[in-house]
Structure 1
């Protein structure tokens, strides 16, 4: 098979063999033991003016085809989330079109879909609490009318104006009181968006106060809140909140560093006669992960191992992907979207490695090289030969090619009558 070129931070180049993996198969049955959503990215037209500050100009065929790829593996799609570059290139008009188009595609195939509801159609400014509520409700009603499920995302506007946990409760209770469909709440940590530091009133890293606020919101809206997605990159915090959730709400891990253990959990799952899940849900997390967009076939295969009662196979399949995900989500974490799009390009889901807002330039070649190495090791390259050709070609475009052995030194010339030139001198032989 083709060699991969790998580039170290100091500029050294070495080669590594592609690893042969099991072929990607389209599953025949839905996932049973866990609910899993992949937070999908968007794919721009490669020739469009997708520069910083310009409106997003998307390749809708490729963008929607990627969602069908996720659905084909048995996963749900979480759309118009931060993975889709909300607040980082995806403008309000493109966000609404994405929600409308994805909802229609989901309906056409019976695919599970939830989408982000936020306040980001308002300019990036300080607004009142009442204005935050109105902005949330505008997007909520649009999303429900489109027929998509709702993820109520953390709002930058609310983070700026809220002065206490009571302000968060006021906003969330007002918005959730108007929802007509189940809602997943989203607790996004400051590693993903520094503006959200202290969300839910937990200033200066006070997770206890933030957790208490979140739980009061859930309890006061038990008929509406179906779960919470935690993206703090803190497994202990997620487990602590998970243990306190009411039975009406599921935990969806958004921890792209520790998802293997969080999804596996510490409980056993029993099949119920109606095809539902047991009440062991408090001992594991479901999934809503940007990482799963990058490794959809591997993630689905791992969860099917849990469906089959084979946790050892789950561990063997999914554990290697965690190192890959940690590289994709390395600090500064909010640039992880570049790695997701890069893997999509390597795997043939888009024709160019480009992103809206020019965000494909947010990671260095050595960083991407390590993604390639870890993807190769964890079976995340769906078409290995294509991935190698594209990656090696990108390196060549940047003047980086496979090193060649230096030519052997030629023998010193011989001279007449036994003379031989050696190191600048002549010596007569007998």
Structure 2
């Protein structure tokens, strides 16, 4: 087929004939691994850009069963699910309820995002606490583990580090079970710049660690999404005993999960949505102590991940959903909020080429046909 390049020219690409072979199986042993999962839009609902998201619940839950079948946990209602970028709190709440029930039925691990996105305008710190409390109660009521997500409302309302210490301390005292704290960098959401009370990352790290140190029994782990491997390693070495580090670094995950003589990171990654089966096989190699095979499987995926997460990073969801369509996990390339338009045709073409080279598509012929269909819409004749 002919694919458009970033320079505006067409190049010839020969699609892969056979998919790679991946296994299904039980949960992973040496690392705790969550895939942040996308939602599947319902393209047949007549909505406007101002309407709540229309979700295809059957396809959305089927994709979660796919992840569980490969031994991965599901991180639900996170930014990969377009939280704050097409999916409002009402939709996220329904997603949490349905996915948590499905997890019980499938015997799969699930952790769900707790935020403050029901607040639609400027809020006081008391209102931020109340919003967090509402969402924490819903998640814990479903039996899912809670992930305390970074809050745009808190970033706007907080006067300094002490406000973060107060709000998070309040929530951790209320949590029934240990939670995962999520530090999402501004490359994923510009509204979170200066989180933890300072734009200086060293100062912010100090406040973050103070929150954990005050309530180590209520913190299962931290998810770090700063795309800075050195900073993540330094942070995980400073964590209290028993508090895990879940990498959210979609640029450097192989080395961070593999770890070093002083420790390693677990994983909670958006890139493990399209990489799920391959990532699970790689971690199974670690389960047997085979670090070489782990790196041989996972290192070649970094080019695809860095492509999907290139700036503006927050639009990586478009590539994730595009690959899910090509892989046959959904029947269309439509996203809530119309976000399928957020990446260019050359970007999508390169994503296809990289994913096809990795053998990610169970039916390479189907993927090629769907790419050609998309290309034809853009006027690229084959």
Q: Does 1:201 align with 2:181?
A: no
Contact 2:318–2:339, Cα closer than 8 Å, also in 1: yes
Residue in 1 that maps onto 2:91: 94
Superposed counterparts of 1:24-63, under 5 Å: 24-49=21-46, 51-63=48-60
Which range moves more in the overlay, 313-322 or 357-366?
313-322
Distance change (3 Å), C-alpha of 1:20 and 1:31: farther
Question: TM (normalized to structure 1)?
Answer: 0.87
Aligned-residue offset at 1:28: 3.1
Aligned-residue offset at 1:49: 3.5
- Bigger Rg, which one: 1
Q: Does 1:290 align with 2:270?
A: yes
Contact 1:50–1:358, Cα closer than 8 Å, also in 2: no
Residue in 2 that maps onto 1:422: none
User: What are structure 2's unaligned runs of at least 5 residues?
Assistant: none
Q: Does 1:14 align with 2:11?
A: yes
Q: Within 2, Cα distance between the matches of 1:23 and 1:380?
A: 7
Q: Within 1, Cα distance between the matches of 2:74 and 2:198?
A: 30
Distance change (3 Å), C-alpha of 1:200 and 1:262: same
**Aligned residue among 119, 126, 136 for 2:116:** 119
Residue in 2 that maps onto 1:246: 240
Q: 3-state DSSP class of the match of 1:151?
A: strand
Which range moves more in the overlay, 382-391 or 229-238?
382-391
User: What are structure 1's unaligned runs of at least 5 residues?
Assistant: 268-281, 403-430
- CA shift digits 1:234-293 (9 cap, x unpaired): 1111111011001121000000111111111113xxxxxxxxxxxxxx511000000000
Q: Does 1:215 align with 2:209?
A: yes
Q: Within 1, Cα distance between the matches of 2:372 and 2:20?
A: 22
Distance change (3 Å), C-alpha of 1:339 and 1:136: same
Aligned-residue offset at 1:296: 0.4
**Aligned residue among 339, 352, 360 for 1:380:** 360
Superposed counterparts of 1:341-380, under 5 Å: 341-380=321-360
Contact 1:345–1:353, Cα closer than 8 Å, also in 2: yes
Q: 3-state DSSP class of the match of 2:174?
A: coil
Question: TM (normalized to structure 2)?
Answer: 0.97
Q: Within 2, Cα distance between the matches of 1:107 and 1:317?
A: 31
Residue in 2 that maps onto 1:421: none
Q: Within 2, Cα distance between the matches of 1:86 and 1:107?
A: 23
Residue in 2 that maps onto 1:153: 149
Aligned-residue offset at 1:13: 1.6
Residue in 2 that maps onto 1:420: none
Aligned-residue offset at 1:30: 2.4
Aligned length: 382
Contact 1:36–1:288, Cα closer than 8 Å, also in 2: yes
Distance change (3 Å), C-alpha of 1:51 and 1:5: farther
Superposed counterparts of 1:276-425, under 5 Å: 283-402=263-382
- CA shift digits 1:11-53 (9 cap, x unpaired): 3222222235564444233211111100000001122235532
Superposed counterparts of 1:160-199, under 5 Å: 160-199=156-195
Which range moves more in the overlay, 46-55 or 364-373?
46-55
Q: Within 2, Cα distance between the matches of 1:21 and 1:196?
A: 43
